[in-house]
Amino acid sequence: MSYTIVVRDESVYAGLVVPKVRPSFKVSNSELIEFLKDRLSERAAEFAGSAEAERPMYTVYVRTPTGTYNAVVCFEYADPGGSAVGDVLVRVPRGVYARFVPNGDYHDPVEDVWAQVDDATASAEITRAYREEIELWHGSESVELFISIAT
């Protein structure tokens, strides 16, 4: 297990939402999340040209007052006005995160990073803050996972 502690600046994301989930590799690898990623990629290619479709995609897990999360499959925007009408907007404030990347322990890179989070939490190396958690996708096989941590 390896991770780095990073500070992420405030960001605005817009995309499609899956309500009431618990962040995990099972959610990330679900058919619904894959469908939404495909839909966003197609839509980006339609309206912005093929270069726009190649930009990183995110899954932002936003905690609800009831303790569940909503997963927002999205792109990052400098200006929320650039997002599609009807997309859900999420503003993630500046925060401290543990950044995980696949280390090769698992064949699936998403399962790899989430297993590292479980290990780091179980061994008390990190204390999760249970705020926004962010998967950053650079193509279909490259992922970074940012877990909000208590400081």
CATH of domain 3-149: 3.20.80.10
24 CB-contact burial (10 Å; exposed 0-12 / middle 13-18 / buried 19+):
middle
How would you write the pLDDT of the chain (151 residues) with one tens digit per residue? Answer: 789 999 999 999 999 999 999 999 999 999 999 999 999 988 887 765 544 456 899 999 999 999 899 999 999 999 888 888 899 999 999 999 999 999 988 999 999 999 999 999 999 999 999 999 999 998 777 899 999 999 8
- pLDDT for residue 46: 73
Start-to-end CA distance of the chain, whole Å, equals 20
- pLDDT for residue 18: 96
CA distance to 31, 84, 98, 119, 123, per residue, from 146 (Å): 22, 25, 6, 15, 18
- pLDDT for residue 51: 47
- pLDDT for residue 49: 54
- pLDDT for residue 69: 96
Where exactly are the structural domains of the chain?
3-149
Q: Which tokens sit at 108?
A: 């699936």
- pLDDT for residue 151: 82
